[in-house]
Amino acid sequence: MAQYDLTVRMAAQMDCHLVFPILEFLQERQLYADEQILQGKICLLSGTNMVDYAMDIHKSLHGTEDVPADMVARRSEVVARLRSLDEAAAPIVAFLSNQQLVQELRPDKQYNIHMLQERYQIGPDQIEALYQYAKFQFECGNYSGAADFLYQYRALCTNSERSLSALWGKLAAEILMQNWDVAQEELNRLKEIIDSKNFSSPINQLHSRIWLMHWSLFIFFNHENGKNGIIDLFFQDRYLNAIQTNAPHLLRYLAAAVVVNKRRRNMLKELIKVIQQEQQTYKDPITEFLECLYVNYDFDGAQQKLIECEQVILNDPFLGKRIEEGNFVTVPLRDEFLENSRLFIFETYCHIHRCIDIGLVSSFMSHF
């Protein structure tokens, strides 16, 4: 099943912090050797400030209490930089920590900037320090602190590019804290900015949409209304074009969402059309199952693909979410997918045959 693992493709479109939950899932599923996963984590951590975590993984990987000198030196750098940023941001952090003072802020950013400068000697340098401090906290793995500071920074920031960068960071932090409702709100804000006519350039718009769709998977496969959300977003023309142009592997998640969402069966025809158009660039058992059933009317092939679909779902970090109920562990999406797929097979068989062979239908269903 490792041949259907999309981690490399997905990681290329994500902040490195978002890749850690994916690696944790793969390690739990034992899809790869532990050494490979640990080595992957160390590579990811080299781009962050989570040096203590990197040291722990190095010890585990090499079975030693010793750590390389460069890690020790890097830790000293991180601690020194944190102290420096802590000092630079102290005035504005102290202001924002005082609820009485915060009540003086208004929706008007220009008023706030002027008021902070006049009354508290907090100017552009301190506001910039808040951004750097928040970013550093995120890189250290303090997602809660980073989310709070980035929210406060955006309320004071007048630079649209910096504000956008802060919003991406806030979204990532909320995802990593599994605050799905808040993350959904930030996703919507980000989408509105990306889709606006004033966005920087068409190529940046395309890349941002691709990033947004990849990040959105964490939300859509955890939020209670996520299966509708992914269908609503991915089927929008500009987003569907981005999928077909640069990220056809996202069809796996769109297909799974359509199959398990009984209320959105009306999207099946459009989905099949896109799967057919992209069959040369991407296919997996989930897309092939739908093609066998609705294009080729190959019921034996569909049954075989459905068996493979189950394994793909179980080994996918977004589709294979596990729920523990007492002594039982269930994979809700797997159960919904198989149940609806059996129904699809039965309905399609009945639709194209005047006479129904009960024995044959029974043999279809007995495979499951």
The greatest distance separating any two alpha carbons of the chain, rounded to the nearest whole angstrom, comes to 85
Minimal CA–CA distance to 282: which of 241, 309, 311, 247? 247
Tokens representing 171 are 């979204």
- Bridge-based pairing state of the strands 323-325 and 328-330: antiparallel
Distance, CA of 35 to CA of 209 (rounded, Å)? 34
Can you point out the beta strands (E) in 209-364?
323-325, 328-330
Please give the model's pTM, rounded to 2 decimal places. Answer: 0.93
Could you report the per-residue pLDDT of 127-182, keeping only the tens digit for each? 999 999 999 999 999 999 999 999 999 999 999 999 999 999 999 999 999 999 99
How many C-alpha atoms does 23 have within 13 Å on its Cβ side? 20
* CB atoms near residue 20 (< 10 Å): 18
Provide Rg for the chain, Cα atoms: 24
Distance, CA of 200 to CA of 207 (rounded, Å)? 11
Query: DSSP of 69-110, one letter per residue?
Result: HHHHHHHHHHHHHHHHHHHHHHHHHHHHH-HHHHTT--S-HH
Minimal CA–CA distance to 60: which of 76, 78, 42? 42
DSSP conformation class of 139: H
pLDDT values of the chain reduced to their tens digit, one per residue, 368 residues: 578 999 999 999 999 999 999 999 999 999 999 999 999 999 999 989 999 999 999 999 999 999 999 999 999 999 999 999 999 999 999 999 999 999 999 989 899 999 999 999 999 999 999 999 999 999 999 999 999 999 999 999 999 999 999 999 999 999 999 999 999 999 999 999 999 988 888 999 999 999 999 999 999 999 999 999 999 999 999 999 999 999 999 999 999 999 999 999 999 999 999 999 999 999 999 999 999 999 999 998 999 999 999 999 999 999 999 998 888 889 999 999 999 999 999 888 787 866 666 665 565 555 54
Q: Give the residue ranges of DSSP H helices in 221-298.
A: 226-234, 237-246, 251-260, 268-277, 285-294
Minimal CA–CA distance to 139: which of 81, 69, 217, 65? 81
How many C-alpha atoms does 206 have within 13 Å on its Cβ side? 10
